[in-house]
Every structure is written in structure tokens, then in C-alpha cells.
Amino acid sequence: MAKNNKTKKQRQTTGIEPLNLSAQLSYRGAGNPPNSHPSQAISNCFPGLESDFRNVWRRIFVGLEMNEADTVVVKVEDRAPAELQNLLNKRLLKVDGQPVFVHIRGPHAVENPGPDFPEPQGLVGNLPSNTPASASISGMEWSNALAHVISKAGQAIECIFQGNRPSEEIRVQLIIRSFFDNEPGNETAAGRAVISKDLIRPGELSQSLCSPWQNDYLECACYYWAASRPDYVNVEPGPDGTSRGNNWIQKDQSTDAPRSYTLDGSKLLSYDDLFRAWEKLLKFQIGGKDSE
């Protein structure tokens, strides 16, 4: 999305049309490098790096605050209508006719089941009766789950929550907030591309991230973001034709370190290393190779 914007000269002859959301969102700002733009900020937020974008959805329903990472109501505003008041801690199931959860399914046979795993019993979707119901379904991420209702800002949408008993359903009409700062009917605000203050207040975009952020760098082997946190660097073909290279966070970073990727914790940077000296120890990768 980040186009190569030219520098804006003194008197702008071409501008941005006020209703053109794409142009505003893709605009990078004069003098701003590409990595200051959301097009280089990851969004598979678990929890995320530059931000935990999941937080923007918490107050998407007027009167409620949802968990950023689960489809559960964590707070009901005091001035919310009565029918919303008993939604606290309830799980949202459907929005405007579409489910906001997925079923988990897959082969169940567990290798070496320990005391924590139930005995193998067929498909994951058919778990034994004493398994918590939450294990076989999971809340969908908000972004994709709600994509079809964002355009209905200001309107009431039918939402279905799970009641106190598994078979019980609670149906309510919830109003979708305007995502951007443009309340329906306000002509001046039409076309603004800034996330509404009602959805994001200072600190909220980053509140569920790791503390400190360095903590994320070692844990997150599988859920990461190669542009910001590379894994496999200096990769080249080995004598058997398969790759060899280095682990980005290995301790031995000398030029003649063997091209051997290791997961042996004793050979990798530790949390303490990162807390103290991340700026010195972590190398930029240009072209997949150690640079500065």
C-alpha cells in the first residue's frame, strides 16, 4: 500500500480528495521512510510488535467492551441500555448472521499423552464430555470476523451471545461504532481515515504487547514477523544442497562463525542480553545477510 510518494513542494497543486480513504491511508508523509508506515507493521497480532491491532475492536459495539483476543464481553458501560447489562462475560457467537468462532478439527491421536492430555478419542472435534466446551471452538480474530459489518456504522446489528447454558442464546441489537472518525451524518468528517478516538485512546494500541518488548524476540518462534524479527540469516547452500545459515539471535556473531543454525539455548542470546544490549547485538539484515 505504501506508494512511493514524492516530496510535497511549497504550494501543493495536487491534493487528496477528502473522501479518498485509500489515498489518505497510503500516504506516507514527506520525509518519512517506509517503515514508519502501517504497510510495514505486522498485523498477525499475537500480540504484535509495533502495536496490538486487536485492541481497536474492543469498543466496536456501542456500550460494550470486548476482550481484544477473545470474543467475550469484559465490560458493559454504565449508561448502556438494560438489555446489554447482562452481557458481561458472555461469549459472542454471531454478528449479523455470520459466526465469529471457528471449530477446531484435526487428528486427535496424541503421542505420549501426559497427565495433562486426555486419552486419545477420535477427532479433536469430538472431545470427551468432560472437556471444556471452549476447547473445541475458538473465537475468530476480530478483523476478519467483523469485516462485513464495518460498513454498517451507526446501524443496529443483530448479535447472538451464548447464554448461561450451552443451548441458550441471547439475541441483542448492537450498534456498530464508526471505525474512522466520521460519524454518520457529519458531512465535515466524511472520509476521514483516522481511527476514531472512541476506539483508540493513548496507550491502548500497545497495552497488550510484551513488557518489555524484548521479551517477544525470544519466545516467538512461530508467530513472528520476519521483516522486524528475522530468524534465518546468511543462508547459503551447504555441501548436501540443503540450506545452512545462522540463527539471527545466536551469540557467536563473528564473521567466521560456522553457518550452523542452532536452537541450543546456551548458544543463543538470552533475555538479559537483549535487555542490556539489544541495540548492539541485533544485526540489521540487508539482502538476507548480516549488515550493520
Partner 1 sequence: MRLRHLSWGHPGKTSARKGHTGLDAAGAERPNHVPPLAARDEATYLLNIGAEIEHALMVQYLYAAYSLEPKRFSGERAEIVSRWRQTILEIAREEMGHLATVQNLLRLIGEPLTLDRSEFPFATSLYPFEFRLEPLSVGSLAKYVVAEMPPGLNDPEIRRIRRLAKAGNVGMPVNRVGSLYAQVGRLFEKISDEDLGKDSLGFQARGSEWGLGYKHILILNAGNRAEARAAIDAIAEQGEGVLTAPKSCNDMPADSHFARFLKIFREFPKGGQWRPAVQTPIHPNLCEPGATNNWSKNMEAGRITHEETRLWAQLSNRRYRMLLMFLSHALHLETPLDAGDKPTTRGLLLTWTFGEMYNLRSLAGFLIHMKLKEGQRDSDRRVAGLPFELPFSLQLPEREIDRWRLNRDLLQASMSLTAEIAKISAGLDGAGVFLRSMREADQAALAIALSLIDQNSPVSAVRSAKSKVARGVTQSRAAWTAEALAHRPAPNAPPTTRAARVLRNARYLERAGRRASSGRDPE
Partner 2 sequence: MPAKEIFEIRLLPPLVIGRLGSSEQPLDNYEAQVPENDPLGYRRLVGAPTFLVSTKTGEITSVTKPEVIRFRDEAKLIRPVCPFVEVWARFDKRGALVPLTSEHLRELDLKPADIKWRVVAANLKVSRRTGDKNDGVEANTDWFSDHAIKQLQGKSGNFVTNKFILFGSVRYIRPNPRFPQIRLRFTPATGKVYGPSIGARDANVVETVYDPEKGGWLNFFDGQRDTPPSTSPSDIYAGTDIDNGRWHISRGYLDDECSGTIEVEFTVRGHKLIAYSHFTAGPPTFAPDSFPVRTIADELEQIALGPNVSPADADQEKVIDIVRRALETVRLINTAVMNGNQGIAGLPVRAGGQFANNNNMAGQDTSYQRAFTPIFDPSVVDALAIRARHERVLMAVISGTPAWFLPKLRHYTEVGDLTDSGRRKMPGMMRGADALYLALTRRQYNLVKATAPTETDLENADALGNTIARGGSHGQKQ
Sheet order of strands, 169-175 included: 98-99, 92-95, 156-162, 169-175
Q: Backbone phi, then psi, for 85, in 5-degree steps?
A: -65, -30
Task: Build a one-symbol-per-residue string for 131-170: x at contacts with partner 2 by CB under 8 A, - elsewhere.
Answer: ----x-xxxxxxxxx-xx-xx-------------------
* Euclidean distance between CA atoms 48 and 43, whole angstroms: 7
* The entry of partner 2, partner 1, none that residue 31 binds, CB within 5 to 8 Å by partner kind: partner 2
Nearer to partner 2, 123 or 156 (CB): 123
**Site membership for partner 1, residue 237 (CB under 8 A):** yes
Q: At 264, which amino acid appears? A: D
**Site membership for partner 2, residue 229 (CB under 8 A):** yes
User: To the nearest whole angstrom, how small is the minimum distance from the Cβ of residue 215 to partner 2?
Assistant: 6
Q: At 107, which amino acid appears? A: P
**Contacts to partner 2 from residues 84-113, by CB under 8 A:** 102-112
Q: Which stretch binds partner 1 (CB under 8 A): 26-34, 60-68, 193-201, 237-245?
A: 237-245
User: To the nearest whole angstrom, how small is the minimum distance from the Cβ of residue 184 to partner 2?
Assistant: 15
Tell me which DSSP letter residue 83 carries.
Answer: H
**Contacts to partner 1 from residues 39-98, by CB under 8 A:** none
User: To the nearest whole angstrom, how small is the minimum distance from the Cβ of residue 265 to partner 1?
Assistant: 4
Q: Which of 64, 172, 193, 269 binds partner 2 (CB under 8 A)?
A: 193
**Site membership for partner 1, residue 270 (CB under 8 A):** yes
* Euclidean distance between CA atoms 38 and 56, whole angstroms: 14
Beta strand 137-139 with 101-103 is: antiparallel
User: To the nearest whole angstrom, how small is the minimum distance from the Cβ of residue 138 to partner 1?
Assistant: 9
Nearest to 184 by CA among 172, 176, 173: 176
C-alpha radius of gyration, the chain, whole number: 24
Tell me which DSSP letter residue 229 carries.
Answer: S
* Euclidean distance between CA atoms 9 and 26, whole angstroms: 18
**Contacts to partner 1 from residues 137-166, by CB under 8 A:** none
* Contact yes or no for 174/64 (Cβ under 8 A): yes
Q: Which of 62, 72, 157, 170 binds partner 2 (CB under 8 A)?
A: 72
Tell me which DSSP letter residue 165 carries.
Answer: S
Binding site for partner 1 (CB under 8 A): 116, 132, 134-135, 219, 221, 234, 236-242, 251-256, 263-266, 268-273, 276-277, 280-281, 283, 287, 289-292
